[in-house]
Amino acid sequence: MWEKKPRYERQLMPGEMLFQEGDVGEEMYFIRKGKIKISIGEEDQEKVLAILKDGDFFGEMAVIDGSPRNASATAIEETDLLIIDKEGFVSKINENPLVGYVIEILTMRVRTLDEQLKYLTIKSDEARIIHFILARAKQQGSPMDEGVRLENISSDTITHITGVDKPKVVEYLRRLADVNLIQVGEEEITVRSIPDLEEYISFLKLRDKFKT
């Protein structure tokens, strides 16, 4: 199937990370031999989503829609990978427009589920909402004079993705607006400063750590 497109290989040693959550993806991978751990979060917040083995493939969603990797991939043991480049993969899909359309829709649905799972691993509702806003600001935000603007986003959207009840979402957004970290519109949110919002998350972690 891939005879006319570039193929190449990579070997990973145990514990070696292939890519990290948030990285830009240009390739998908087929496991010829070995095991790969797919996970989200770091250290004590890490959640293992899957252990992949010989014959499994992964990384295809980033290749299809160009979005950042939604999870990290790490070798559990010595692993041999076959790498399929974006051009070769997409060209095969584009040979049948209907197949391409179906895969695009399925990819969007899976990404939404993955995003929901990622935020559900964060215990604090407030931190969960802020992480969501930060991620969207970095990935989809439009730089403006007053900050980074997120369009087509509302309290309903945040509730759907993060699983936080709408009244809580509205209250936490109001708190962030009160301290001038964000500005909330009808269907948009403007992040005044991404570094300031990241610093606020650090404050929440310290507050929760020393709460009595």
Q: Could you tell me the residue ranges of all domains in the chain?
A: 7-118, 124-209
Confidence of residue 6 (pLDDT cuts 50, 70, 90): very low
| Residue 70 token pair | 């939604």
> In this predicted structure, what is the pLDDT of residue 15?
94
Q: What is the CATH number of domain 7-118?
A: 2.60.120.10
Report phi then psi at 139, rounded to 5: -90, -35
The answer for residues whose C-beta is within 8 angstroms of residue 21's C-beta and 6 or more apart is 40, 41, 68, 69, 70, 71, 72
Whether 11 has a pLDDT exceeding 90, the answer reads: yes
What digits encode the pLDDT tens for the residues 169-207?
999 999 999 999 999 988 899 999 999 988 988 888 788
Confidence of residue 157 (pLDDT cuts 50, 70, 90): confident
The answer for residues whose C-beta is within 8 angstroms of residue 88's C-beta and 6 or more apart is 2, 5, 6
Q: Is the pTM of this model over 0.85?
A: no
- Interhelix angle 166-178/155-162, rounded to 10 degrees, is 120
What is the average pLDDT score of the chain? 83
CATH T-level fold of 124-209: Jelly Rolls (2.60.120)
The answer to whether domain 7-118 and domain 124-209 are alike in fold is yes
Contact 138, 149 (CB under 8 A): no
CA-nearest of 193, 10, 113 to 201 is 193
